[in-house]
Amino acid sequence: TTQRLARYFDDLTVVEAADSLIEIAKTNVPERVKFIHATIETAELEPVYDSIFLMHTLEHLDDPIPALARIRNWLSPTGRLFVVVPNANAASRQIAVKMGLISHNAAVTPAEHEHGHRRTYSLDTLERDAMSAGLRTIHRSGIFFKALANFQWDQVIRAGIVTPAYLDGCYALGQQYPDLCAS
C-alpha cells in the first residue's frame, strides 16, 4: 500500500507499529517516504496532513474513538481521512452466518482475533465511531464485492477460474453495493 501511495504523494509519512514491516516497506518505496515506528495512540505528529489513510487498522484498536479523535487533530483544516476496514456485512460474511460458521455478521472469528482484530465494522458502526470522534462522513463506498472467503478467493485465482475481468466486475459491483463489499 505504501508503494502505491508513494506514486501519488511526494510527501508521505507512514506510522507503523511493527518495525519488521517498516524494514520490508523501506526496501520497496522511495527514500523520501518517512516512517515513524509508533502506534496511532503514541505517535507524535504535527497537525498538517491533507490526507490520512487509515487502512485495515481501526479494527485492531482497543479504543478506536480516541484514536480517531487524535487523527482528526492531525488533519489540516481541509484535510481528509480515508478509512478502510473489513465489512461485517460483506456477502461472504453473511453467507458464513447462513452456513452457521459464524454467529452474526459482526462476529470476530478466531482467525481474526488471532490477527489482532477487536471488532468488525459495518458502514453504520464505522460512521458512528467517526462521528463520536468529531469527524463527519463526506463519502462512503465499498471496495470489492466479495462473495467468497479469502481462502476461497486464493484457490479460485490460483486455479485460473477467476479472470482479471471478473475481478474488475467485482470492483465495479462494489461501487454499486458498498454494504456487500469486503471493505
Question: pLDDT, tens digit, for every residue of 63-122?
Answer: 999 999 999 999 999 999 999 999 999 999 999 999 999 999 999 999 899 999 999 999
- Specify the residue for cell string 468529531: 134
Q: What's the residue count for the chain?
A: 183
Tens of pLDDT, residue by residue over 3-27, are: 999 999 999 999 999 999 999 999 9
Helix/strand/coil for 75: strand
| Residue 108 neighbours by CB distance under 10 Å | 17
Q: Categorize the per-residue pLDDT at 150 as very low, low, confident or very high, splitting at 50, 70 and 90.
A: confident
**Could you tell me which residues come within 8 angstroms of residue 69 by beta carbon, excluding any fewer than 6 positions away?**
133, 134
pTM greater than 0.85 (yes/no): yes
